[in-house]
């Protein structure tokens, strides 16, 4: 029996109270329960379609009569613009032109096209055209004329001018002065991290068309339901009249939220073009300037006091961040406030405003940048104390969330540290460093840990339906952005129902089903949706057993479903499922499920430890990461093959952040000079280290009925500081700015 209940839901550390529909949930799987399908290595269900070219991504969608939609973007950091809209409209093949004159063309209540664009890449107009040539002719006729205005794109200048995006955020616990006075050693250091650009390989794109008064949109997005809400608001539509599909999309990493600007522009162009389908597809440059980025931390200043034995006595951290996410500026200081025990912490986050695009959550936003600074600072503290860096972490383990004071549902960071140390050969690291290697390079190991959220929560729903053939289809409005959740959902449903995996299908990626699931962000899909899938499967299982009881004239309580057959507890009866479902004819059995509320008075967090081994050619500054050991605690692991891939992928993005990725802005013109995949360096195959992945795999006793937590973001968090620390261990050179390029290493080495 469903009921409504108030509960606290969490997204990336933000908490809010909500009413949610709560349905009956099965009890949690016992820790020792043997699992047949969940928790086993299963190839990605969508693999064959993706690997054969058959999967149709949003950018592959081609509808009859589809028009080319192009967004015209300002090349200047700050300017005013004049456009010949009528001239553009007059060009044959140009069916619609939108411009700043269309003030009602909005996204989140702000006009999309600005007559005073405030960053290079800001949209100033858009056209819908029959052909690419018409688009070129249209843009030429539009003839944008810019008057360049003053701008500030340099964070140092913004700081000097006190250009703040919003008010700084400060927090203080305990007595920092007393803590510092108590310290035997105080380490002070300043770090900086460059802006990192998502550069998902599929650019932001969308296809929209109006069928009557209904909007049908395909958007490369992480949130089809947010997209639906945004479209509905923008066009003042009943949300049921908006259908958003995202079945296959080419990566997001946080950049693709809701309708995205590109999807919204497609919808507006389509409306202006009498409802004809319009595709908007960013070019790579737009992805590098106007599609989101991880904020630059101009400085992170740490002052950390500790006793001889490594106990932290006080921490002061000030983070100056350029264009952090509005209203959420302090996650950069969260690692310092929560990762290790310290009662006396003063934190300040100062948000600068520079004339570049607003940032967009990039996988573990804020936390990743802050962990680079904090875990590097602690490494420096360990050196100052002559302590093993891992012992320093062990000495300050804390099992409550220091911001709320609430205990964690489970914390196995120590187990992660111990296992990572074992796998990495930590005990022999000094011997590795001191040995002369035949290739003349210096080698060393460095470690770092992570904390992240990822408990998920309601609302998240699923349904499962089964017909006469005994095949079950899981339906939920989640989107698989490459994480492999589709497969995990199938495993959960198969496990709960007692079916072999080949009897399970999964449908995701459309709002049409009416089955809500949250945005693929904040590492919340698995912990939110998987329990809903299980709940739905549990509901269906109950119905199947009832029907089986009718057919076989036994009590449903005497039956189980094992490997696709009804089996009586005494083993006497064993009948394949189709003996019952075959009698359904055209009817479908449906189970519905919802994610239940989160535990009260607790915090659900994930923890992990990574250790990197580097080899450095000291004279040339060439840094190779040879090996990364990554041990993470996310509770129960449902889909180990896909989970390993998540970690490998996070490590590689962390490696890119550590060694080669930075958005470069020209000081004279305020424009990005490396908005392409040749100048902006992503790691290649040849840069890939050996990556050893392990999970603690202990079910979290309080986190949902599946005991699992999200994995999307944790693995990107500790990689970069582990690498920076390894470079220090190997060479004695401490580089405090990411990315640690050859130049930064050589200049740091020269002192």
Partner 1 sequence: MSAYVRPASIDEALELLGGDGAQPLAGGTDLVPLQSRGKAPGSLVDVRALLGDAIEPHGDGLLIGAATRVADVAGDGRVAERYAALSQAAGAAASPQLRNQGTVAGNLAQHVRCWYFRHPDLTCWLAGGDTCYAQIGDHRKHGLEAGDCISVAPSDLAGALLALDAKVRITGAGGERSIPIAELYARPREDHRSSVQLAHGELITAVELPAPPDASAYERAGERAAWTFALAGIAAARFGDSLRLAAIGLTNEPRLLDPADPLGDLPGLEQTGWKRELAGVLCERALARVSPG
Partner 2 sequence: MTEITLTLNGRERQTSVPEGATLAELLREQVGLTGTKIACAEGTCGACTVLVDGRAVLSCILRAEQAEGAEVTTIEGLGDEGALSALQRAFVEEDALQCGFCTAGQVVSATALLAATPRPTSEQVRAAMSGNLCRCGAYPGIERAVLRAADELAGAS
Which residues sit at the interface with partner 1, rule CB under 8 A? Answer: 75, 120, 136, 283-285, 619-622, 624, 659-660, 664-669, 671, 673-674, 678-679, 681, 683-687, 741-743, 746-747, 750
668 binds, among partner 2, partner 1, none (CB under 5 to 8 A by kind): partner 1
Residue 199 or 393: the one with the smaller Cβ distance to partner 2 is 199
Residues in 672-701 at the binding interface with partner 2, rule: CB under 8 A: 676-678, 682-686, 688, 691
* Tokens found for residue 159: 């700081």
750 binds, among partner 1, partner 2, none (CB under 5 to 8 A by kind): partner 1
H, E, C per residue of 429-447: HHHHHHCCCCCCCEEEEEE
Whether 184 contacts 192, CB under 8 Å = no
What span, in angstroms and rounded, lies between the C-alpha atoms of 541 and 532?
Answer: 14
Residue 470 or 689: the one with the smaller Cβ distance to partner 1 is 689
By the rule CB under 8 A, 704 interacts with partner 2: no
By the rule CB under 8 A, 649 interacts with partner 2: yes
Question: What is each CA distance from 678 to 284, 384, 574, 683, 684, in whole angstroms?
Answer: 11, 40, 62, 11, 11
484 binds, among partner 2, partner 1, none (CB under 5 to 8 A by kind): partner 2
Smallest separation (angstroms) from partner 2 to the CB of 117: 24
E strand spans, 212-366: 214-219, 242-245, 278-281, 293-294, 296-306, 312-322, 345-352
666 binds, among partner 1, partner 2, none (CB under 5 to 8 A by kind): partner 1
Which of 24, 26, 36, 60 binds partner 2 (CB under 8 A)? It is 60
Strand partners, 442: 616
Which of 482, 591, 593, 635 binds partner 2 (CB under 8 A)? It is 482
54 binds, among partner 1, partner 2, none (CB under 5 to 8 A by kind): partner 2
46 binds, among partner 2, partner 1, none (CB under 5 to 8 A by kind): partner 2
What span, in angstroms and rounded, lies between the C-alpha atoms of 716 and 523?
Answer: 12
Residue 444 or 683: the one with the smaller Cβ distance to partner 1 is 683
622 binds, among partner 1, partner 2, none (CB under 5 to 8 A by kind): partner 1
Strand partners, 412: none
Whether 409 contacts 686, CB under 8 Å = no
Residue 403 or 746: the one with the smaller Cβ distance to partner 1 is 746
Segment interacting with partner 2, rule: CB under 8 A, options 16-24, 41-49, 399-407, 547-555:
41-49
Residue 317 or 361: the one with the smaller Cβ distance to partner 2 is 361
* Tokens found for residue 526: 């698995």
Residue 91 or 315: the one with the smaller Cβ distance to partner 2 is 91
212 binds, among partner 1, partner 2, none (CB under 5 to 8 A by kind): none
Whether 349 contacts 274, CB under 8 Å = no
Which of 5, 14, 86, 133 binds partner 2 (CB under 8 A)? It is 133
Segment interacting with partner 2, rule: CB under 8 A, options 192-200, 450-458, 460-468, 666-674:
192-200
Whether 702 contacts 604, CB under 8 Å = yes
H runs (alpha helix) in 343-444 = 367-385, 389-394, 413-424, 429-434
400 binds, among partner 1, partner 2, none (CB under 5 to 8 A by kind): none
Smallest separation (angstroms) from partner 1 to the CB of 625: 10
Smallest separation (angstroms) from partner 2 to the CB of 219: 15
In angstroms, how far is the first alpha carbon of the chain from the final one? 69
Residue 79 or 540: the one with the smaller Cβ distance to partner 1 is 79
Residue 55 or 343: the one with the smaller Cβ distance to partner 2 is 55
Conformational region of residue 290, where left means phi above 0, alpha means psi within -120 to 50, and beta covers everything else: alpha
Burial letters 154-189, b for 16+ CB under 10 A, else e: bbeebbeeebebeeebeeebbebeebbeebebbbeb
Which of 39, 123, 179, 250 binds partner 2 (CB under 8 A)? It is 250
202 binds, among partner 1, partner 2, none (CB under 5 to 8 A by kind): partner 2
Smallest separation (angstroms) from partner 2 to the CB of 677: 4
What span, in angstroms and rounded, lies between the C-alpha atoms of 374 and 304?
Answer: 10
Transcribe 604-615 into DSSP letters.
--EEEEEEEEEE
Whether 264 contacts 171, CB under 8 Å = no
Residue 136 or 433: the one with the smaller Cβ distance to partner 1 is 136
Q: Please report which helix (H) or strand (E) contains residue 475, including its range.
A: strand 472-475
By the rule CB under 8 A, 258 interacts with partner 2: no
Transcribe 152-202 into DSSP letters.
---HHHHHHTT-BSS--EEEEES-HHHHHHH-SEEEEEEEEE--EE---SS
Which of 2, 90, 103, 132 binds partner 2 (CB under 8 A)? It is 132
What span, in angstroms and rounded, lies between the C-alpha atoms of 152 and 162?
Answer: 11
543 binds, among partner 1, partner 2, none (CB under 5 to 8 A by kind): none
Which of 138, 263, 484, 739 binds partner 2 (CB under 8 A)? It is 484
Smallest separation (angstroms) from partner 2 to the CB of 89: 24
453 binds, among partner 2, partner 1, none (CB under 5 to 8 A by kind): none
What span, in angstroms and rounded, lies between the C-alpha atoms of 15 and 453?
Answer: 11
Q: How many CA atoms lie within 13 A of 150 on its CB side?
A: 2
Which of 142, 481, 497, 577 binds partner 2 (CB under 8 A)? It is 481
747 binds, among partner 2, partner 1, none (CB under 5 to 8 A by kind): partner 1
Residues in 272-331 at the binding interface with partner 2, rule: CB under 8 A: 283-284
Q: Which residue has the tokens 């100033």?
A: 124
673 binds, among partner 2, partner 1, none (CB under 5 to 8 A by kind): partner 1
| Residue 709 DSSP code | -
Question: What is each CA distance from 132 to 123, 136, 274, in whole angstroms?
Answer: 19, 6, 19
Whether 475 contacts 509, CB under 8 Å = no
Footprint on this chain of partner 2 (rule: CB under 8 A)? 43-44, 46-48, 50-57, 59-60, 62, 132-133, 198-203, 248-251, 253, 283-284, 481-484, 641-642, 644-646, 648-653, 676-678, 682-686, 688, 691
């Amino acid at each position: 029996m469903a009921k409504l209940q108030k509960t606290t839901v969490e997204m990336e550390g933000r908490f809010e109270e909500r009413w949610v529909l709560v349905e009956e949930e099965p009890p949690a799987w016992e820790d020792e329960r043997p699992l047949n399908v969940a928790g086993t290595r299963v190839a990605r269900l969508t693999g064959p379609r993706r690997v054969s070219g058959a999967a149709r991504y949003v950018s592959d969608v081609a509808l009859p009569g589809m028009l080319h939609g192009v967004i015209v973007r300002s090349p200047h950091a700050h300017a005013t613009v004049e456009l010949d809209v009528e001239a553009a409209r007059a060009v044959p093949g140009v069916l619609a032109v939108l411009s700043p004159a269309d003030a009602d063309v909005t996204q989140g209540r702000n006009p999309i096209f600005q007559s005073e664009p405030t960053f290079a890449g800001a949209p100033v107009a858009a056209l819908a055209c029959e052909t690419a040539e018409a688009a070129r002719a249209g843009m030429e006729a539009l003839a944008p004329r810019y008057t360049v205005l003053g701008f500030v794109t340099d964070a140092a200048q913004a700081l000097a001018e006190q250009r703040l995006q919003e008010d700084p955020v400060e927090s203080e616990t305990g007595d920092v002065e007393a803590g510092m006075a108590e310290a035997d050693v105080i380490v002070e250091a300043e770090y900086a991290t460059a802006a990192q650009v998502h550069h998902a390989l599929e650019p932001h794109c969308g296809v929209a068309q109006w069928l009557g008064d209904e909007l049908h949109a395909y958007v490369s997005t992480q949130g089809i339901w947010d997209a639906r809400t945004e479209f509905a608001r923008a066009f003042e539509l009943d949300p049921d009249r908006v259908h958003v599909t995202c079945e296959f999309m080419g990566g997001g990493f946080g950049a693709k939220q809701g309708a995205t600007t590109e999807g919204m522009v497609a919808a507006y162009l389509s409306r202006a073009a009498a409802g004809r389908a319009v595709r908007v597809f960013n070019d790579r440059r737009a992805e590098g300037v106007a599609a989101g980025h991880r904020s630059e931390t101009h400085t992170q200043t740490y002052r950390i006091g500790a006793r001889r034995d490594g106990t932290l006595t006080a921490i002061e951290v000030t983070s100056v961040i350029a264009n952090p996410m509005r209203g959420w500026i302090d996650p950069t200081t969260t690692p310092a406030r929560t990762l290790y025990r310290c009662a006396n912490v003063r934190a300040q986050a100062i948000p600068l405003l520079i004339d570049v695009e607003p940032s967009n959550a990039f996988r573990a936003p804020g936390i990743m940048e802050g962990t680079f600074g904090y875990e590097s600072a602690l490494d420096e503290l360990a050196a100052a104390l002559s302590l093993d860096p891992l012992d320093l972490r062990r000495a300050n383990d804390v099992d409550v969330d220091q911001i709320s004071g609430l205990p964690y549902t489970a914390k196995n960071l120590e187990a992660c540290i111990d296992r990572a140390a074992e796998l990495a050969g930590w005990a022999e690291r000094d011997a590795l460093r001191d040995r002369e290697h035949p290739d003349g390079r210096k080698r060393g190991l460095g470690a770092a840990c992570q904390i992240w959220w990822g408990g998920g929560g309601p609302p998240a729903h699923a349904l499962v339906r089964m017909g006469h053939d005994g095949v079950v289809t899981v339906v939920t409005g989640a989107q698989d952005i490459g994480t492999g959740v589709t497969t995990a959902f199938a495993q959960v449903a198969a496990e709960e129902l007692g079916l072999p995996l080949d009897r399970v299908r999964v449908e995701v990626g459309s709002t049409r089903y009416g089955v809500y699931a949250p945005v693929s962000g904040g590492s919340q899909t698995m912990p939110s949706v998987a329990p809903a899938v299980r709940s739905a499967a549990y509901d269906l299982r109950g119905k199947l057993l009832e029907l089986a009881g009718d057919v076989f004239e036994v009590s449903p309580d005497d039956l189980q479903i094992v490997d696709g057959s009804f089996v009586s507890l005494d083993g006497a009866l064993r009948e394949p499922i189709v003996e019952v479902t075959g009698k359904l004819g055209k009817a479908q059995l449906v189970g519905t499920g919802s994610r239940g509320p989160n535990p009260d008075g607790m915090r659900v967090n994930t923890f992990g430890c990574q250790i990197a081994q580097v080899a450095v050619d000291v004279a040339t500054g060439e840094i190779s990461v040879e090996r990364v050991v990554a041990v993470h605690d996310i509770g129960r692991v449902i889909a180990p093959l896909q989970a390993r891939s998540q970690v490998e992928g996070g490590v590689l993005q962390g490696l890119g952040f550590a060694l080669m990725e930075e958005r470069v802005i020209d000081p004279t013109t305020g424009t990005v000079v490396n908005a392409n995949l040749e100048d902006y360096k992503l790691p290649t195959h040849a840069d890939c280290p050996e990556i050893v992945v392990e999970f603690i795999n202990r079910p979290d006793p309080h986190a949902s009925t599946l005991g699992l937590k999200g994995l999307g973001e944790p693995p990107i968090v500790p990689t970069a500081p582990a690498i920076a620390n390894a470079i220090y261990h190997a060479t004695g050179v401490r580089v405090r700015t990411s990315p640690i390029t050859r130049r930064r290493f050589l200049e740091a080495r020269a002192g």
